[in-house]
């Protein structure tokens, strides 16, 4: 088709123009390209140097038993001690037991929260009766931090395991719920109208329009919820756990095994980062259109 | 001629004393006032009117997205109660599903009606070839230009073989050249299908170039102010735009519109605050 050909050519011409504009100085001037590389390398050098400097200061502070603004580094293990503790833990069978326990609780609590929060969030965002019927109790429960639930959770659930899963669930539920509601409410009404005039039924409207339309917000909610799930779980494990990374960290304190405290903290950070990253990657897999400009055209 | 474009039974539109208002009490806003309009099956009618006069509300009512508060609205002899497949709608823009590919967007109406997959695929492919998009089948809307997106929009409505095609300023966001191409494409498709078309626009050239008849609406609440029959021969090409007959029709329409917008400078007491955006909101609220 002539017009399409025309449009495509214009597009190609435009993109060529943009690339040329952007690349021209670099191509015509190799010296400039080298200096650009140098700038990038310099920035990375500063970044790595900053981390290295932190370690050096930390090592010096613990070895020299400094007191900085009243904070005593006397009992703080040095990075080298933490590294030795990490090597030892990696060799011992203890590590997998703790990891398994924490990951299982996260998986159970988070999955439950994801299913319930996304389902109720979609109803609340779409129907006034659901908003009036569900939102008031949620609004009252929401500001209660997961930690404050711990005593009641212990009374409420028969085993420490189930109460810890419950605490994880509470931590993850509200961020997922609020983001889902926000996502559903943000769906362009014209898209709903367009689907209605194309003969969409009630169920299909949810499956084909409301769910994909709010998916970017849901994924954001899941990413945040994963962070709060870890936060809540670690607290719960410190109070009532028998295994798990939080328990490991607290146990290290009570046994005065100080390098393991810091090791536990680092493990928590890494696990939280990896699981949030996993959510984001899986989320993008389910939204192949997202990289072309989000949820708008 | 392909099966897809087999001349289909087109439907007529009939509005009798049709009024439509939103809100209650002091916030009550009348968008359409005792509108009388008859469009015989297969006719192409353009609707012109001052901005915010209720043109989009008219489309919404016929599409079944907004309910009349009084009067009657018949399509093909039966009253309109809800959206239906026999009435296709092409909105201005941003109404393709961003998460569906071109193919999936066009396929959507057929899927809703339970058309079987092989038949669906054949219809969608043929429709996409007709609007010149067969190479973009698996692209997402965000990867297409505005003109291509509106081709998909047109294909998405036409693949359901609607008897009535309702178009709400579908080409308003396009550049002049693309708009002309789209107008010619629309006329080509219409001459094959001969469905009834109601085309809302604020562009006098566009209204005259496309239609058999141009209906000029008053300021809100919309009533029919006047009608202009466009007796230009078909098939029309862009050269018609420079003919003296076209110019005199255009002058006449502009005159009518100018009179309308002068009247609307003095808003009547009571509904002075409502903006066209609020009207659109109100329509969507009902839907």
The secondary structure element, H or E, covering residue B145 is none
Probe site for chain B from A10, A191, A198 (most B CB atoms < 10 A): A198
pLDDT reported for residue A168? 96
Looking at beta carbons, which residues of chain B come within 8 Å of A196? 65, 83, 287
Test A297 with B145 for CB contact under 8 angstroms: no
The token duo for A179 is: 């983001």
pLDDT reported for residue A15? 38
Q: Report pTM.
A: 0.80
Put simply, whether A292 touches B (Cβ < 8 Å) is yes
Probe site for chain A from B99, B185, B286 (most A CB atoms < 10 A): B99
pLDDT reported for residue B275? 46
Looking at beta carbons, which residues of chain B come within 8 Å of A215? 99
Test B140 with A292 for CB contact under 8 angstroms: yes
Strands (E) located in B107-250: 164-168, 196-200, 213-217, 224-229
Question: Which chain B residue shows the shortest CA-CA distance from A198?
Answer: B109
For A:210-229, CB contacts with B below 8 A are 212-213, 215
Gap from B142 CA to chain A (nearest CA, Å): 5
Put simply, whether A187 touches B (Cβ < 8 Å) is no
ipTM of the complex: 0.82
Q: Is the pLDDT of residue B129 over 50?
A: yes
Q: Is the pLDDT of residue A19 over 60?
A: no
In order, the DSSP letters of A29-92 are -HHHHHHHHHHHHHHHHHHHHHHHHHHHHHHHHHHTT-EETTEE-TTSPPHHHHHHHHHHHHHS
For the stretch A128-161, pLDDT in tens is 999 999 999 999 999 999 999 999 999 999 999 9
Put simply, whether A53 touches B (Cβ < 8 Å) is no
Most confident of A59-68, A108-117, A194-203, B263-272: A108-117
d(CA A287, CA A263): 36
Test A289 with B145 for CB contact under 8 angstroms: no
CB–CB contacts below 8 A, A to B: 100
Q: Is B280 helix (H, G, I), strand (E, B) or coil?
A: helix
Largest CA distance in chain A: 79
Question: Which chain B residue shows the shortest CA-CA distance from A194?
Answer: B95
* Selected residue with higher pLDDT from B277 and B201: B201
- Closest-CA residue to A55 (of A269, A262, A248): A262
Instruction: Tell me what the pLDDT averaged over chain B comes to.
Output: 84
Decide: B238 and B179 in contact? Cβ < 8 Å.
no
Question: Which chain A residue shows the shortest CA-CA distance from B97?
Answer: A191
Decide: A214 and A183 in contact? Cβ < 8 Å.
yes
Comparing CB atoms, the residue among A1, A190, A198 nearest residue B94 is: A190
């Amino acid at each position: 088709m002539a017009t399409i050909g025309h449009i495509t050519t214009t597009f190609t011409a435009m993109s060529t123009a943009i690339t040329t504009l952007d690349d021209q100085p670099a191509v015509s001037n190799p010296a400039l390209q080298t200096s650009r590389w140098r700038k990038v390398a310099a920035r990375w050098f500063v970044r790595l140097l900053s981390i290295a400097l932190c370690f050096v200061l930390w090592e010096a502070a613990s070895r020299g038993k400094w007191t900085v603004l009243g904070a005593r580094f006397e009992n703080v293990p040095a990075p080298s001690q933490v590294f030795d503790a990490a090597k030892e833990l990696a060799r011992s069978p203890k590590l997998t037991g703790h990891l398994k326990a924490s990951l299982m609780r996260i998986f159970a609590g988070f999955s439950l929260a994801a299913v319930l929060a996304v389902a109720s969030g979609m109803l609340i965002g779409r129907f006034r009766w659901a908003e009036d019927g569900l939102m008031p109790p949620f609004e009252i429960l929401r500001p209660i931090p997961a930690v404050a639930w711990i005593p009641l959770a212990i009374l409420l659930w028969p085993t420490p395991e189930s109460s810890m899963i419950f605490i994880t669930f509470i931590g993850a539920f509200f961020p997922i719920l609020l983001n889902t509601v926000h996502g559903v409410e943000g769906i362009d009404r014209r898209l709903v109208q367009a689907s209605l005039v194309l003969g969409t039924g009630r169920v299909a409207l949810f499956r084909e329009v409301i769910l994909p339309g709010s998916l970017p917000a849901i994924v954001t909610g899941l990413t945040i919820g994963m962070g709060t799930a870890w936060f809540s779980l670690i607290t719960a494990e410190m109070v009532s756990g028998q295994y798990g990374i939080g328990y490991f960290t607290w146990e290290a304190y009570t046994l005065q095994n100080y390098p393991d405290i810091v090791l536990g903290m680092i493990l928590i950070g890494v696990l939280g980062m990896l699981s949030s990253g996993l959510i984001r990657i899986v989320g993008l897999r389910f939204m192949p259109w997202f990289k072309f400009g989000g949820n708008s055209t | 001629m392909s099966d897809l474009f087999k001349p289909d039974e087109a439907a007529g539109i009939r509005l009798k004393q049709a009024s439509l208002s939103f809100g209650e009490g002091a916030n009550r806003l009348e968008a359409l006032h005792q509108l009388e309009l008859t469009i015989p099956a297969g006719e192409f009618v353009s609707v012109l009117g001052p901005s915010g006069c209720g043109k989009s509300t008219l489309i919404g009512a016929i599409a079944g997205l907004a309910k009349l508060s009084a009067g009657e609205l018949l399509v093909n002899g039966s009253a309109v109660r809800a959206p239906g497949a026999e009435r296709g709608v092409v909105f201005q823009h941003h109404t393709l599903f961003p998460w569906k590919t071109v193919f999936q967007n066009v396929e959507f109406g057929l899927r809703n009606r339970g058309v079987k997959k092989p038949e669906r695929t054949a219809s969608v492919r043929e429709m996409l070839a007709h609007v010149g998009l067969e190479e973009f089948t698996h692209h997402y809307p965000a990867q297409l230009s505005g003109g291509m997106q509106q081709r998909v929009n047109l294909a998405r409505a036409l693949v359901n073989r609607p008897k009535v095609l309702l178009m709400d300023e579908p080409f308003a966001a396009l550049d002049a050249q693309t708009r002309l191409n789209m107008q010619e494409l629309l006329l080509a498709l219409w001459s094959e299908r001969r469905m009834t078309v109601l085309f809302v626009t604020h562009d006098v050239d566009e209204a005259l170039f496309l239609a058999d008849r141009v209906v000029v609406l008053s300021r809100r609440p919309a009533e029919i102010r006047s009608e202009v029959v466009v007796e230009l021969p078909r098939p029309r090409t862009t050269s018609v735009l420079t003919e003296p007959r076209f110019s005199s029709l255009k002058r006449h329409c502009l005159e009518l519109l100018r009179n309308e917008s002068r009247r609307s400078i003095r808003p009547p007491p009571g509904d002075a605050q409502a903006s066209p955006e609020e009207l659109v909101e109100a329509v969507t609220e009902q839907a």
